[in-house]
Structure 1
Amino acid sequence: MMCWRRQRESFSSWVLILVLFALREIQTAHHKHEMKFTIVVNSQVLLDHIAVALIDDIFWGSYDKSNHQFSVKAAWISEALGMNLTEEIQHLVLDHERGYQFFIHHLTTNDTNTERNHTLQIRFDCELDGGIQLSSLAKYGLDGEDLIEIEGLDGQWVVLNPRAHNFKYIAESPFWTKVRKYYNKRYCVEVMQRILGKSSMKENVPPKVYVSRQDFPNGTIRFYCTATGFYPPSILLQWKKGIDDAVWGKESSSGTLPNSDDTFYVRISLEIPLGDTGTGYACVVDHSQLETPTVYPVPEKPSKRNLWSIALSILAAIVMISCFVVFTKWKRKKAGTTSQTQLEGHFPSATSTIPLQ
């Protein structure tokens, strides 16, 4: 009995360890949730209202004034959010349309051109790392100019444009401070956690890296380093020469771009100065799913001897394939001739004389 109890306690301990490990794997990644709103108003008439929501730069939901519906990317996202939260977001976006109109009217009271269109831009975001909130941001802009922003739940509003001075006193009131913190918790953090809880977004993937070089007739040498299929999108690629040698040359980057499978892609290139042989270079890749920054050497330029070997190998392969094709055709032709001869031996031709009885 005591032995069985010890075994059960040991088994329970292992189960607990496995569960904690699984939760840690899900929660350790760094994630960012962004919501961006664009509102266009003319003479207190709402002309347009567009909203997009992204997690780690991956689009998951949007709102368009034309249909007055907040739409999600896939059905499983609605299931992850639940009916109550989905309806809350829908009503929230609709209810705020009138508030946005009032806000724009308040900011443009002294505008003499009453027929002018005004565009309000709002951005909210929050970041999590290991389930712990790192930061949050609320930022407002009008007609392409920054107005006011606040970083952190307990931060201070910073006025970026004189137009927003009066709004600062409203935003700092206890009521709106409480509303802002609730919105951050409910619609930024909780929404992100629910979606990540049922999404492949939480499955972190290391990058696949490809390094190549291109030698031009004028002596220019260019290197390429491509990382693809990785998640999360945060990644660092840089060139290295030797151990401590500085790298000189013309660098360019594609920037981090999304793939169709919700992973990411980035490519950097380096054009080295004329006269540099291009030896000793490597691409260093640092990503959260790599234990340490990994070094990928740039391939050396093939020597003329190697080029001749490659050319001869290709030529030999072509000759062998040609011989095989010719032999196959000859064999088929020979087989057809043999069959025809055998048939003629069994059956007399139309011109053959049949002996009389």
Structure 2
Amino acid sequence: MFFNVAQNITARRIRMTPFTLLILMASDVWADMHLHYHRAVFFPPGPGLPAFSVVGYVDDQEIESYNSDVCQSVPKTEWMKKLGPEYWERETKHNQIAEIACKQQLQAIKKQFTKTQGLHVYQEIFGCELSDDGSTVAALYNMQGYNGKDLMYLDTQKWLWIPVVNEARFFTHAWNQPGTSETEKWKNYLTNTCVGQLKNILALGREDLKKKVVPEVKVWGHHQSDGVTRLYCLVYGFYPQTVHVKWMRNGVDYIPSDKMSPILPHPDGTYRIRVSVEVPQVEEDAYSCHVEHSSLQETLSITFKNQCKSDGPYTNNYRHLCFYCSKSDYCCCFWSLNRPGIGEC
């Protein structure tokens, strides 16, 4: 499902999968090297909500931005500043042209729908991905949405625009006509400009982009009424963003989470996520939180069962601390690197 953009306009990042635009970060796994831009047009604009904005990312790191309030493309990392003033002047002119085109597109889309009141939002996400070694193109894409729903996307195998809703057929029919400039423009950009730009950016920021920070993990539980325990697994301080966290019963049975936070950024550039499940208080069962991350050589498994123990392979590098409070029937376990600054439950 597509989260309603009007309810999530402060989200840091837009994620997109085929047929689906997501406002707010999701758990999809992207290739290691990808360049993608997120455009959004809002009508009417409001305080803190520019009429037009563009944010560029490499992998999950924001690298540049532009909006209609400042009318200038700006670097978001120190190493992107190395591209020099000519690059940023060129990006600014490109985004100023895109601003006009996207605003016109929103007005054209509005005519195809019956809604006339309230906030109108047009979104476009486009980009390219390279294989891990950078030798081949893994994916090219352009996907568009309107008012929190999928609109259309570009099939980059056949180079045809595909409508997702009937209202989009007006545009896809026109853009799919032989000799139209819209498809050729995007084919040239994605296959040439985007791929070349990604390779240049990777050369500039490879050291920063390829850094890996090992996650720290806290596992705790609270015994509730009716013989049920609420288990929590907090994974934090990790980079890059992609992580898989799940609860297991006896090491083999996956327990679907009924409460999972989105992956949220820290000011220091790392990320955090919390996964929670309710389980029956059965003495024979052991419940463990499994964490998979690119910084870990193997899956990290932290077990919660009356006492805290670890099944992970990092005994020499981590410290493991457990605290108990009989009044609240509460247990907290830390699984942390031997470095200062770990918090308490």
Normalised by the length of structure 1, the TM-score is 0.63
Q: Does residue 1:225 correspond to 2:233, yes or no?
A: yes
1 CA distance for matches of 2:115 and 2:68? 25
**Structure 2 residue aligned with 1:281:** 287
| 1:208 match | 216
| Alignment map for 1:235-274 (pairs within 5 Å) | 235-244=243-252, 246=253, 251-273=258-280
- The partner residue of 2:74 within 71, 88, 107 is 71
CA distance in 2, matches of 1:107, 1:264: 36
Q: Which has the higher strand share?
A: 2
Equivalent residues in 2 for 1:1-357 (5 A)?
30-40=32-42, 48-79=51-82, 81-108=83-110, 118-130=120-132, 131=134, 132-152=136-156, 154-172=158-176, 173-174=178-179, 175-185=181-191, 188-199=194-205, 200-215=208-223, 220-244=228-252, 246=253, 251-273=258-280, 275-277=281-283, 279-298=285-304, 300-301=306-307
SS at match of 2:70: coil
SS at match of 2:248: strand
Larger gyration radius, structure 1 or structure 2? 1
Distance in 1 of aligned mates of 2:115 and 2:302: 60
**Superposition RMSD on alpha carbons, in Å?**
3.7
In structure 1, stretches of 5+ residues that fail to align are: 1-28, 309-357
**Residue 111 to residue 248, structure 1, CA distance change in 2 (3 Å):** closer
CA deviation profile, 1:315-352 (whole Å, cap 9, x unmatched): xxxxxxxxxxxxxxxxxxxxxxxxxxxxxxxxxxxxxx
Give the distance between the partners of 1:50 and 1:250, measured in 2 at CA. Answer: 35
> What amino acid does structure 2 have at the position aligned with 1:210?
K
Residues 62, 221 of structure 1: alpha-carbon distance in 2 compared, 3 angstrom cutoff: same
- Note closer, same or farther for the CA distance 1:229–1:201 as it changes in structure 2 (3 Å cut): farther
Residue equivalent to 1:15: none
Q: Percent identity?
A: 24
Change (3 A) 1:90 1:296: same
Count of matched residue pairs? 272
Q: Which has the higher helix share?
A: 1
1:35 and 1:156 mapped to 2: Cα distance?
20
With over 3 angstroms needed to count, the CA separation of the structure-2 counterparts of 1:279 and 1:301, relative to structure 1, is farther
Unaligned runs of 5+ in 2: 1-30, 45-49, 309-322, 326-345
CA apart distance, 1:86: 2.6
Give the structure-2-normalised TM-score.
Answer: 0.65
1:264-321 Cα offsets, whole Å, 9 max, x none, are: 2222122212x4237522122222333332322225349xxx989xxxxxxxxxxxxx
